[in-house]
């Protein structure tokens, strides 16, 4: 099962990613910009992605990707860790990395 430890492991593969916190929960940042954080429930993450990417993720897999009213105006998507394979998580983390840094991998 994919957990936040998996997020941390995959984050180490990305240039310049550092462990941090956000709203009192574990997070990964690049140059002090949020990349991903763990929600308070311990099984959901928030990833920064573009609005178009977010909409596609939610259309393709609404059981895994969603938003709440709070995130509607932010370029973010919620993802349920137990539903993500390691490969899917790597893909969305790379998507977030490119969005946050503006650099392709």
Per-residue model confidence (pLDDT) at position 24:
96
Burial (0-12, 13-18, 19+ Cβ within 10 Å), 32: exposed
Q: What is the pLDDT of residue 77?
A: 98
pLDDT for 105 equals 72
Tally of domains in the chain: 1
**pLDDT digit of tens for each residue in the chain (105 aa)?**
899 999 999 999 999 999 999 999 999 999 999 999 999 999 999 999 999 999 999 999 999 999 999 999 999 999 999 999 999 999 999 999 999 999 887
What CATH number is associated with residue 13? 3.90.1150.30
Q: Tell me which residue range forms the domain holding 62.
A: 4-101
Number of separate helices (H) and strands (E) present in the chain: 3, 6
Predicted pLDDT of residue 1: 85
Predicted pLDDT at 84: 97
């Amino acid at each position: 099962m994919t957990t936040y430890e998996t997020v941390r492991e995959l984050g180490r593969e990305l240039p310049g990613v550092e462990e941090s916190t956000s709203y009192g929960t574990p997070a990964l940042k690049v140059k002090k910009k949020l990349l991903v954080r763990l929600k308070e429930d311990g099984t959901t993450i928030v990833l920064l992605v573009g609005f178009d990417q977010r909409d596609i993720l939610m259309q393709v897999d609404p059981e895994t990707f969603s938003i709440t009213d709070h995130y509607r105006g932010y370029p973010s998507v919620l993802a349920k860790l137990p539903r993500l394979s390691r490969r899917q998580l790597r893909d969305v983390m790379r998507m977030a990395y490119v969005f946050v840094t503006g650099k392709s991998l």
